[in-house]
Amino acid sequence: MAAEPPQQQQRCRIEDDAEAGGAYRLQKFRLYETRSNFYMIGRDKNRTFWRVLKIDRSEPSELNMLEDPTTYTEQECCDLLNRIHEGNVASGGLKFVTACYGIIGFIKFLGPFYMLIITKRRKIGDICGHAIYSISKSNMIPIPNSQVQTNMAFSKSENRYKKLLCVVDLTKDFFFSYSYDVMRSLQKNLCDQESGQSLYDTMFVWNEYLTRGIRNNLKNTLWTVALVHGFFHQEKLSFLGKQFWFTLIARRSRHYAGTRYLKRGVNEKGRVANDVETEQIVIEDVPEGCPVQISSIVQNRGSIPLFWSQETSRLNLKPDITLLNRDPNYEATKLHFENLVKRYGNPIIILNLIKTYEKKPRERILRAEFANAIRCINKTLPAENRLRFLHWDLHKHFRSISANVLELLTKVAVYTVDLTGIFYCQVSSISRIEGSMISSYFGNSDSSDCSSLNFSNNGDDADSLETEISSSSSCSKLKLPLFQKGVLRTNCIDCLDRTNVAQYAYGLVALGRQLHSMGYMESENIELHDPLADDLMRIYETMGDTLALQYGGSAAHNKIFSERRGQWKAATQSQEFLRTLQRYYSNAYIDAEKQDAINVFLGYFQPQQGKPALWELDSDHHHSVGRHSAKNTEETPRSFIRRSLSDGNILLETNTPIATKSLVQNQPLSEIAEGTRKGLSESTFKISTCESDLSDERCTTSVEPTQLFKDVKEDDCPESDYICLDKHGDECNCSNFLDVDRLSSSGNSFDEDLYERSSISGLLQDNDNGQNSASTLSGSKSSFGRKEKKHARNHTDRGKASGEYSDDFIRWVNDGEMLSL
């Protein structure tokens, strides 16, 4: 049998790779139209191959498309377009519409389908040789031609839905890449060969719903781009004269997405509001073709995973917090942490920054209930997999004269980075890295397939890989890789202002580890007064402002950063006041429409003729409203005050794709002409649930806020960070808890406006065989209040009897000394 010519061999290789979602990806497109069809012509970056997609325009309310399976050369594609034009001369021929850079998706309101495309893009960064882009301009094009469109296409409701969709500004904070899976962390991309359609199902792809129809129809993702919403920043930084590329990425989850007061807490699927993954990437600046070192670390923020809400109010700047008695066994909370373990592995470290001391109980209600939830979950877990829960009232310590918040947070960050580690890898070249970089350590051996190892879920796999690399590597100059195992999850009430400060402190400590692993510095620590720390603070402050605008409606409150820069206090107060007003105005007057737009964009509300319009509903929590709903919902006028009930699906969450159908079996378009010719007519780890036969040792039951402290005195419960109430209202010690506030108190009395002088100290305790896991504990004398000392001794007596506290901690309580990190 004669061998295929080289051109044909390359064409077959490209087609096979395209079907698998490989390196041959379409990046530039041209859209043409005839009266009966759209023709999308796509080519790769290097002008190696051309593909053709045909979209039918003769149906008023259906979406029909056909992908030509043939891979064309540039000349062959031009010849095909000429034949299409000749076959349609009588009806106006083939006309050029626009150049574009990818399909965002397809959407239908009440009338026709619309195609959303990117018409202008802007390069904003580069990761391992893969370009990252933002959208500069987009366009929404109706699919049917004007002759077949119905009156519904021009109705007031249709136009209102179109305007509503435009509220989601695609030119702000959306980014994508053709060749790099920017919806996943660097570690996952380098160690996991997953590609294609499954990536669109991840929680960070915001146009998953919009692309569902075309992806299911064509069985590939050649024509679409996966949009990530959040924050992307890249710039070149230097340390001691050595330069490196620094990238900060924030990925906002599309699950339970929305605005500040309309999305709070958790839903029944374990999805939390304002769920954002932050990744910090450092890449060595070296000439192309040289070995390069890369490193990354991931952290997470998200709303407190309980069922709670706040009402939007024009009269109250700080609405009351309502804790809902809906999940006595914390099933939704368990699901949330199961998902975190599946994504990042163990340990899960929770840094809770909400207030402990308030004149009127608000945040501390959630604080006590959150502690109960963690206690419940930890009862069902083995000691090595228990959640690590850290309480620290950032607001109190910021207002303390003697406390340096950033210094205290960096000490907590050192502890957490020690637990999770960082990702580090050295590769032979960055000129073009495809697939798994880790496989470069194994050359062409059979062991090069690391796709079966899930490093984020299983630390043992990563350890075994390090051992295997050590024994198998043929390049002695390559350093052994390091892997992150586990994640830090930070929250305050909004997960915006205080959370961003804590994430900066964590990022600063992590950056020191990253640069140390690359050989940029001998020490692992970057001092807060170092110019590099100022650069990092500036970038994190920008990220905080961006995320706060998305969720809260204003830039973040950056009092701590402003104070660190030495900004004039009066200027800071004026800036904070203006941002408070801006956030209030947005929450009260703008967020309702913004939430509606998000629900439509994500497909959680699908308009349907004969059903209430979205703006006629009094809430965005109507499960029965949608294209596939089984029954009607009564039309009710939308009231101004709308509450986020944290109760599951937003409006409609369905796996049913947008309806599409192919006209005929896929055939090369060159064999089918138009007009005078025949026409083309989506870890195995699981946290166990609380058993029903646990009797008195069962999980606590959440109660209404008015009943939470019903039988507990003000001095006993609200001021203690260790407080966890069992079902009888008794205090109990929670395993794997760190009470930073309790251990840093100086004994001075205070209320909400007068805080004690304190410095962070604490016992970072790991209940593995009852041993203290902190690497260093040094004693320093400090006054210790009688009430606090008595309260701590009560816990110590119980802890000593059960073997949960170390001798160092018992000695600290008895002697009144402070253990510093």
Q: What is the pLDDT of residues 173-206, one digit of tens each?
A: 999 999 999 999 999 998 877 767 788 888 999 9
**Partners of 487 in beta bridges:** 348
pLDDT at 100: 97
Question: Among 59-63, 701-705, 798-802, where is mean pLDDT lowest?
Answer: 701-705
| Each residue's pLDDT tens digit, 624-667 | 334 443 333 333 333 333 444 433 333 443 444 455 444 444 45
Band of the pLDDT at 697, cuts 50, 70, 90? very low
What confidence score (pLDDT) does residue 568 get? 74
pLDDT at 50 over 60: yes
Instruction: With cut-offs at 50, 70 and 90, classify the pLDDT of residue 556.
Output: confident
Q: Helix, strand, or coil here: 597?
A: helix
- Range of lowest pLDDT (93-97, 109-113, 139-143, 357-361): 357-361
Spatial CB neighbours of 259, under 8 Å, sequence gap ≥ 6: 551, 552, 553, 586, 587, 591, 594, 595, 598
pLDDT (0 to 100) of residue 500: 92
The pLDDT assigned to 289 comes to: 74
Residue 658's pLDDT is 53
Average pLDDT over residues 552-572: 77
The count of other CB atoms within 10 Å of the CB of residue 624 is 12
Check residues 693 and 23 and name the one with the higher pLDDT: 23
- Residue 430 above 60 pLDDT? no
β-bridge partners, 96: 32
Q: Grade residue 431 by pLDDT with cuts at 50, 70 and 90.
A: very low
Confidence check: pLDDT of 791 > 60: no
- Kindly give the pairing relationship between strand 348-352 and strand 487-491: parallel
Model confidence at 524: pLDDT above 50: yes
- Of 717, 752, 748, give the one whose Cα is nearest residue 732: 717
**611: number of Cβ within 10 Å:** 20
* Ramachandran angles phi, psi of 451, nearest 5°: -65, -25
What are the residues facing 425 on neighbouring strands? 294
Q: Average pLDDT of the chain? A: 74
Q: What angle do CA 95, 96, 98 make, to 5 degrees?
A: 150
Angstrom distance (rounded) from CA 308 to CA 628: 29
What are the pLDDT digits (tens) for 305-341? 999 988 776 677 778 888 887 788 899 999 999 999 9
CA 772 – CA 799 distance, rounded (Å): 13
Per-residue model confidence (pLDDT) at position 427: 81
Angle value at C-alpha 773, between 357 and 384, nearest 5 degrees: 95
pLDDT, residue 420, reads 95
- Does pLDDT of 603 surpass 80? yes
**Which pLDDT score, from 0 to 100, does residue 667 have?**
55
Q: What is the pLDDT of residue 361?
A: 84
The total of other beta-carbon atoms located within 10 Å of residue 475's CB is: 11
Residue 43 near residue 24 (C-beta atoms within 8 A): no
Whether the per-residue pLDDT at 230 is higher than 80: the answer is yes
d(CA 521, CA 515): 6
What is the model's pLDDT at position 476? 42
- pLDDT over threshold 80, residue 762: no
pLDDT confidence of residue 128: 87
Give the pLDDT of residue 475: 41
More confident residue, 807 or 345: 345
Q: Which of 218-222, 380-384, 459-463 has the lowest mean pLDDT?
A: 459-463
Q: Cα–Cα distance between 641 and 313 in angstroms, integer?
A: 7
- The helix-helix angle for 497-517 and 531-551 (nearest 10°) equals 140
Q: How confident is the model at residue 484 (pLDDT cuts 50, 70, 90)?
A: very high
Tell me the mean pLDDT in the region 53-64.
Answer: 93
Residue 317 φ/ψ, nearest 5 degrees:
-70, -25
Cβ neighbours for 212, distance < 8 A, ≥ 6 positions apart: 105, 200, 603, 657, 658, 682
pLDDT at 67 > cutoff 90:
yes
> Residue 719: pLDDT above 80?
no
**Which residue reads 């839905």 in tokens?**
161
Q: Categorize the per-residue pLDDT at 399 as very low, low, confident or very high, splitting at 50, 70 and 90.
A: confident
Q: How far apart are CA 799 and CA 812, in angstroms?
A: 13
Distance CA(739)–CA(742), nearest Å, equals 5
Q: pLDDT band at 260, cuts 50/70/90?
A: confident
The answer to whether residue 478 scores a pLDDT higher than 90 is no
Question: What's the CA gap between 251 and 301, in Å, rounded?
Answer: 10
pLDDT for residue 69 is more than 80 = yes
CB burial class (10 A; 0-12, 13-18, 19+) of residue 631?
A: exposed
What band does 477 get if pLDDT is binned at 50, 70 and 90?
low
Does residue 784 carry a pLDDT above 60? no
Can you give the pTM of this predicted structure?
0.75
Burial 736-749 (b: 16+ CB within 10 A, else e): bbbbbbbbbbbbee
Rounded percentage of the chain residues whose pLDDT exceeds 90: 45
Are 55 and 32 in contact, with CB atoms under 8 Å apart?
Answer: no
DSSP bridge pairs for 228:
175, 205
> Do residues 283 and 245 make contact, with C-beta atoms less than 8 angstroms apart?
yes
Phi, psi (rounded to 5 degrees) for 366: -70, -30
Per DSSP (E only), the strands in 366-442 are 388-391, 423-427
Residues 373, 330: contact at Cβ < 8 Å? yes
Burial 74-111 (b: 16+ CB within 10 A, else e): eeebeebbebbbebbeeeebbeeeeebbbbbbbbbbbb
Higher confidence at residue 116 or residue 697? 116
What pLDDT sits at residue 786? 44
Spell 699-735 as b/e; 16+ CB within 10 A means b.
bbebbebeebbeebeeeebbbbbbbbbbeeeebbbbb
Task: Give the pLDDT mean for 604-629.
Answer: 68
Lowest mean pLDDT among 381-390, 516-525, 573-582, 620-629: 620-629
No. of helices (H) and no. of strands (E), the chain: 19, 25
Determine phi and psi for 537, rounding to 5 degrees.
-60, -40
pLDDT given for residue 355 in this prediction: 87
Across 274-279, average pLDDT: 96
Q: What pLDDT is stored for residue 371 in this prediction?
A: 92
